A = this chain, B = another copy of it.
Amino acid sequence: MSTTRQPSEESGVAAPRPRGTAFLLAQLGAHAAGRFAERVAALGLTPPDVGLLRMIATRPGLSQRALATELGVVPSRVVTLIDQLDGKGLVERRRSTEDRRNHALHLSADGQRVLAEIGTVAGEHEADICAGLDDAERAVLTGLLERIAERQGLTPGVHPGYRGMAKGRPR
């Protein structure tokens, strides 16, 4: 193992190692997402679960269809995810009285407790990731990230991972 780490004597191609801001963002983002996944796994949840719970808490009574649209996900996937959360007793499906095709989604009491735990975990996660930066630096960083996010047209609070993108399969 271990050879010296030099810019290809063979190919003569210049430094192929990615060092740009965009790569750092992707690298750090994947790291942060992974760490967060580990933390919520301790609560028996996956990141998508957390996203659904938060969305339902914010907009109780939402239909599965609306949720799918909101998150940019296919309806059948919402079924699977809600099935699991329902099975754990965290969310309830209530048949709408007006249109009985609809399932109005609500957090159960347990769901609300779990949501509170998620908040705690998210705080720890935030502190971990930002460790080493003082308050001023965090503010600067957050400001710059928000500007990029807005410029890129990202919906606040919606992780692109829900959209099954970030794969890019050619051939």
Give chain A's interface residues, CB within 8 Å of chain B.
1, 3, 5-11, 13-14, 16-34, 36-38, 40-47, 53-55, 57-62, 66, 69, 106-107, 112, 115-116, 119, 122, 125-126, 128-133, 137-138, 140-142, 144-149, 151-152, 154, 156-161, 165-171
| Shortest Cβ distance from A12 into B: residue | B112
Q: Are A137 and B144 in contact (CB under 8 A)?
A: yes
The interface residues of chain A, by DSSP majority, are classed as helix
Contact partner of A131 (CB less than 8 A), chosen from B24, B29, B151, is B151
Chain B residues with CB under 8 Å of A115's CB are 11, 13, 16
B140–A11 CB distance below 8 A: no
Quote the shortest CB–CB distance from A131 to chain B (angstroms): 6
Instruction: Report copies per complex.
Output: 2
Instruction: Report A24 CB to chain B, min CB distance, Å.
Output: 4
Are A170 and B46 neighbours in the complex by a CB distance under 8 Å? Answer: yes
- How far apart are the CA atoms of A27 and B33 in the complex, in Å? 9
Q: Pull 20 A–B residue pairs with CB atoms less than 8 Å apart, ordered by A.
A: A9-B60, A10-B61, A10-B107, A11-B60, A13-B107, A13-B112, A16-B119, A18-B54, A21-B130, A23-B159, A24-B146, A25-B25, A28-B29, A28-B154, A29-B29, A30-B33, A30-B159, A30-B160, A131-B151, A132-B151
